């Protein structure tokens, strides 16, 4: 379902940069499709998942962000 929606939105010329989803849709198939379409993907992940992006992470300030859960929330 997600693959079909992404493919159809892209082929119909819908302008979008991000593909966002919860852990149910987080799969290699969907992230590889998003990559092939030039989209940025953001998914919730189950805590036992190991994610190794092919091209590595890109950080704004060149620093790796802390992956610790923060007790404060951004507005």
DSSP-based three-state secondary structure for 14: coil
Q: Buried (b) or exposed (e) across 5-44, using 16+ Cβ within 10 A? A: ebeeebeeeeeeeebebeeebbeeebbebbeeeebebebe
- Average pLDDT over the chain, rounded to an integer: 79
Residue 59 covered by a domain: no
Kindly report, residue by residue over 41-74, the tens digit of the pLDDT.
888 888 777 776 666 655 555 555 555 554 455 4
Residue 15 covered by a domain: yes
pTM (2 decimals)? 0.64
What pLDDT does residue 75 have? 47
Residue 20 covered by a domain: yes
What pLDDT does residue 56 have? 61
Residue 53 covered by a domain: no
* Host domain of residue 39: 6-43
Residue 64 covered by a domain: no
Number of domains in the chain: 1
């Amino acid at each position: 379902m997600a693959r079909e929606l992404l493919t159809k939105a892209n082929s119909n010329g819908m302008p979008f940069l991000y593909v966002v989803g919860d852990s149910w849709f987080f799969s290699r198939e969907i992230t590889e499709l998003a990559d092939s379409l030039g989209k940025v993907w953001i998914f919730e992940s189950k805590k036992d998942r190991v994610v190794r992006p092919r091209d590595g992470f890109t950080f704004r300030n060149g620093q790796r962000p802390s992956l610790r859960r923060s007790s404060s929330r951004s507005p």
